[in-house]
């Protein structure tokens, strides 16, 4: 993992925990390992929980148990990182390069905390220049 012991799991991976699609089994396996802290400490942007919950809401039929999803997300051992001047500057710089602001927030958190960024978004990996600290989960 590039010598990094912290990790960031972006929403493109986390949505697969709740939505059956390509890569869901691998994402659920990653969740199990993360919950057991096999890979170190888990950090992520504050928007993680809301972004995942919103994606699940959009993908599921009416009546889905979003309260259960929200409760689970609130229970995960991720240290939420807020938006501050340093992160904001990094996000703005990445956005200037054409990376979406939410994706840039995940990347900025990973860079600031020397973490591996796990994503299912191949376009993001390419936009970041495929650095060693970004891992694509397919």
Tell me the pLDDT of the chain (138 aa) as tens digits. Answer: 446 678 999 999 999 999 888 889 999 988 887 777 655 688 999 999 999 999 999 887 665 688 999 999 999 889 999 999 999 999 999 999 999 999 999 999 999 999 999 999 999 999 999 999 999 987
Q: What is the pLDDT of residue 115?
A: 94
Of the candidates 65, 77, 57, 43, which has an alpha carbon nearest to the alpha carbon of residue 15? 57
Q: How far is CA 18 from CA 12, 46, 88, 92, in A?
A: 11, 19, 30, 31
Contact between 52 and 15 (Cβ < 8 Å):
yes
Q: How far is CA 70 from CA 18, 29, 30, 64, 116, in A?
A: 11, 20, 19, 12, 25
């Amino acid at each position: 993992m590039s010598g990094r012991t912290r990790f960031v799991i972006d929403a493109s991976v986390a949505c697969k925990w709740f939505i059956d699609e390509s890569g869901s089994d691998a994402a659920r396996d990653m969740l199990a390992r993360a919950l057991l802290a096999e890979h170190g400490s888990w950090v992520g942007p504050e928007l993680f929980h809301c972004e995942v919950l919103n994606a699940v809401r959009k993908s599921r039929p009416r009546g889905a148990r979003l309260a259960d999803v929200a409760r689970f997300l609130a229970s995960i051992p991720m240290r939420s990182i807020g938006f501050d001047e340093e992160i904001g500057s990094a996000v703005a710089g990445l956005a200037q390069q054409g990376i979406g602001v939410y994706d840039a927030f995940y990347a900025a958190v990973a860079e600031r905390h020397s973490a591996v960024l796990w994503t299912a978004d191949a376009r993001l990996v390419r936009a970041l220049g495929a650095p060693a600290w970004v891992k694509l989960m397919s």
